[in-house]
Structures are given as C-alpha cells and as structure tokens.
Amino acid sequence: MEKARCNMTEFWKEHSKAATVEEMMLDSRARELTEQELPEILSMLPCLAGYKVLELGAGIGRYTSHLLTMAGHVTAVDFMDSFVEKNRQDNGHHSNAAFIQADVTKLDIPQNSFDFIFSNWLLMYLSEEELQSFIEKMLGWLRPGGFLFFRESCNHRSGDSKRDFNPTCYRTEAQYSHLVSSVQMEGPEGGQTFGFDIVLKKKVQAYIEMKNNPNQLCWLLEKVRRSSNTQNGFTTFQQFLDNKQYTRRGILRYEKIFGAGYVSTGGPSTTKEFVDLLNLKPGQKVLDVGSGIGGGDFYMAKTFGVEVLGLDLSDNMVDIAMERAITEKLPSVQFEVADATKRTFPEGSFDVIYSRDTILHIDDKLALFKRFHSWLKPGGQLLISDYCCSEKPWTPVFESYVKQRGYILYTPSQYGKFIGDAGFCNVRAEDRTAQFIQVIKTELHEAEAIKHEFIKEFSEEDYLAIVNGWREKLERSNSGNQRWGLFYATRK
C-alpha cells in the first residue's frame, strides 16, 4: 500500500508543476469544461449556509472559491504543495478558509466535526484496499445528518486519452454505489449504527453534451442512523424498492400490463387525460417525482415541448428510463436517482410538479408537499395521482396488503388537506376510485387477451402474478378500502 501511495505522489508531482487547471484536470479543454460543469455540480449540493465544509483533493481550488461563498467555513486539503499554494494565493483572503497540505488517507480528523465533505475526482485515485476504509473514515468525520458529495469518472478515463501512465482506478457506477451503501459504523455511545443513504446520483450533463461521455457520475449521500427493522428487512429504503417491488423483471412485467413506458394506473390513457389539465407551454420546466421508466416524461416533452427532470429513488427504474432515453433522443428529458424526501432545489425552480402513483411510498406527506411548494414558481401547478384508502376499519386483507407493501395511505380528503396545509391554493382533491376500477378491468382484459405473448416474453408464473395481482386489486377496490385520488393545486 505504501508503494501505491508513493507512485501516486510521484504521478501528481509530475502533474502539478504548473498548477494550472489543464494540468490538474489532465484535459486540454479544461477551461471550457469547467465553465459548463461547475454550475451544474454546484446545483446538486445541499444548502451550505453556515456549514463547516471539508474539501478533499481540492487541487488548485476550482471548487474552493465557490464553496467559500456558499458555506460557513471551508478546509481545503491537497497533497501537492504547488496546488495548495495556488489555492491559498487565490482564496486565502477569505477569513473562513483553511488550507492543509496532506495526503487525505493520512488525515487525523475528530469524529462528527464536519457538516459536509466535498470531493471531485478523488476516490478514483485510491486503491481498492484504501477506498473502503476511507469511506468509513469520512462517515465518522461527518456529524449525523451531514452530507458527502463525490464525483468520479466511472468505467473509463475522462481526460485526454494519450496521456502516459495514469494511475486511476476506473470503477463501475455499481461498485461505488455498493461501497457507499454497505459502509457502516458504530456511534460513539454504542448501540447506534450509522450509514449513508442516497440523496442523489446523477450523470454530469456537461460531459455528455461536450464529450459524449456519460461516465461522469456524482453522488450525494446523507449520514443517517440505521435502525434495525424499519425498511422491511433491508438496510435502506432504496434497497427495499430495488429488491422487492421494483426488480428489473418486476418493472418490465408491470409495464406489460400498464402500457409501454408506464408503471402506474392507466398508463398512456390517464396520462393524456391528466396532463391535458396542465395546459403545458413550450419551454416550461416540469419535475416528475417518482418518474419510473419515464413514459409520461417522454410524452410531455414530445407533445408540449417542455423540459422534464424525472427523479426516482429506484436504480432499476432510472436505469431502464435512461436506456429508453437513448432511443427517444430527447435532450429535454433528464433522469436522476434521487430521494424526493431529501433532494433539494432552489426556490421557484419549476413550473409544474407532477407525480403519478408514487407518494404512497412516502411517509411524511405534509413535509414533502411543503418542499414541492417551495420548488414551484409563483403560479406553478401541482398534479398528483395516488393510491388512497377509506377511513378505518379496514379488512384484514387490506391491512396486510398495505403492511407488506410498506405503503402510507390517507383518504383523498385527508390527502387534499395536507396539500392545503403546505401552503397551496385552489386545491382540488377528487376520489377517482370509479375510474380506477374501470381501468383495472380494462388492463386485466388486455392482459388476458395477450396471455400467450405475455407468457412467451416472461413466464407463466409472471403472467399469473400479474393477473392475480390485478384481480386482488379489483377486490380490494370493490370492497371499498382501496381508493385512488387525483389532486390539483397551485402556488400563489
């Protein structure tokens, strides 16, 4: 390991002599790229006001200068003298800056002492043996509720390809994701375990546009307390979604009955009906919360010329959505893996927030609707369809269905009240259960009509799982407990 550290130090000594941005990024188009990607990367960060920030592998301070204007205090660390000196020259006049020349793997930092750790192209320079323990260390340096951001080149190199020896470890996106979700540590008082939950995982758009390179990935994670039995037996809620209801196969067979591109009630038909209520105008910005495999987003962009950001917590969903995006060729539609309860956007970012059959997975609806309210522009519109329920008592069948799925359901009027309490006006809360029942019947007939094709594409077992699931859904709705709501509201 020491030998690897020496090689790495030698490599960077060679590449830090001029301390320029081209040299540091190992890329001759560095300035142009920086201009494009800097604002993009900064827009992914949480609000840093008052935060104590640790910037690791800060280089000549491309990001330091910006972090300094956003945060309470920034400690910038790099192991190359000339980089640290250049950073100090450019940014040392800020009274809230500190500069440390050190190898990040050898830093000695007290536990729980930072609110935010930022690194851009650092972890890819750590070896396999170093990486896991380094992520554990960072988890310790952060206070509970603090955030870690890192950006890496995945799968292959990002800079000029003709460079000589380049000691980078090009890991896959999945390797990084696995590492951060599996790292855990005991809290200081014992008995508590901490780990990272995903807030956001996103491709750098500037690299896709300028270099046709989709391998620049960013992660934003939150240090959270892990409790043993909350996620239905999984460590994180994301793992619960990806391994239970939304496995790749599970998603594709849902799509077969809901309609191409859709994983929610009525697929293209209800989407057309509900989107029509919005009077979308070209150029408007739409946020789709729980965008699934993106059918609704492609439809909105194609039909109305809007820009859509689809976010979804399930990796499997976003993977499929991105595969479809390649054939759709619609640069106005983007997807990201994100947790809607943790992701932040600046005030007034969107004209429309749209969400179909997703918020059933989310516990604190009032808090979520308050976030939506702030993300909408004045006059912006909210449109939601969602699973709801009747007042209790519920049948044991419905009780156990809701428990097994981990859904959090309210009656349509309670749901509407949350939207009003979050500050929205013109709230319309409609019980659309009759339409729900109609749609389920149609979908069931259509699935039965293509039974052979369905079985050929999937299997008999998959076919039965779907049609039996739909029959049970029909029973639960007919018995009155399961309800479906449509919600519309605006921001003043």
**No. of H helices and E strands in the chain?**
19, 15
Where do we find the tokens 């994670």?
A: 221
- Cβ distance 369 to 376 under 8 Å? no
Nearest-approach distance from CB 465 to ligand SAH, in angstroms: 17
- Cβ distance 131 to 175 under 8 Å? no
Nearer to ligand SAH, 241 or 382 (CB): 241
Nearer to ligand SAH, 215 or 341 (CB): 341
Nearer to ligand SAH, 72 or 268 (CB): 268
Nearer to ligand SAH, 124 or 360 (CB): 360
Listed in sequence order, the residues at least 6 apart from 103 whose beta carbon sits closer than 8 Å to its beta carbon are 5, 9, 79
CA distance 343 to 221: 10
- What is the DSSP code (8-state) at residue 26? T
Nearest-approach distance from CB 379 to ligand SAH, in angstroms: 24
Nearer to ligand SAH, 183 or 311 (CB): 311
Nearest-approach distance from CB 180 to ligand SAH, in angstroms: 18
Nearer to ligand SAH, 312 or 319 (CB): 312
Nearer to ligand SAH, 34 or 381 (CB): 381
Nearest-approach distance from CB 14 to ligand SAH, in angstroms: 44
- Cβ distance 300 to 275 under 8 Å? yes
Task: Please report the DSSP string for 152-214 in residue order.
Answer: EE-SS--S-TT-S--------HHHHHHHHHH-EEE-TTSS-EEEEEEEEEEE-HHHHHHH---
Q: What residues pair up with 198 in beta bridges, in sequence order?
A: 221
Residue 162 exposure: Cα atoms within 13 Å on the Cβ side: 1
Name the packing angle between helices 173-182 and 128-141 (round to 10°).
50
Nearest-approach distance from CB 318 to ligand SAH, in angstroms: 8
- Cβ distance 487 to 383 under 8 Å? yes
Nearest-approach distance from CB 442 to ligand SAH, in angstroms: 16
Alpha-carbon Rg for the chain, nearest whole angstrom, is 24
Residue 191 backbone phi and psi in degrees, to 5: 80, -20
* Nearest residue to ligand SAH, scored by beta-carbon proximity: 292
Nearest-approach distance from CB 341 to ligand SAH, in angstroms: 5
CA distance 92 to 90: 6
Nearest-approach distance from CB 235 to ligand SAH, in angstroms: 16
Contact footprint for ligand SAH (CB under 6 A): 241, 246, 262-264, 290-292, 295-296, 311-314, 317, 339-341, 356-358, 361-362
Nearer to ligand SAH, 34 or 355 (CB): 355
Nearer to ligand SAH, 48 or 313 (CB): 313
Amino acid identity at 228: S
Amino acid identity at 433: T
Nearest-approach distance from CB 264 to ligand SAH, in angstroms: 3
Nearer to ligand SAH, 44 or 317 (CB): 317
Nearest-approach distance from CB 357 to ligand SAH, in angstroms: 5
C-alpha dihedral (26, 28, 34, 36), degrees to nearest 10: -130
Task: Please report the DSSP string for 402-462 in residue order.
Answer: HHHHT-----HHHHHHHHHHTT-EEEEEEE-HHHHHHHHHHHHHHHHHTHHHHHHHS-HHH
Nearer to ligand SAH, 30 or 200 (CB): 200
Nearest-approach distance from CB 342 to ligand SAH, in angstroms: 8
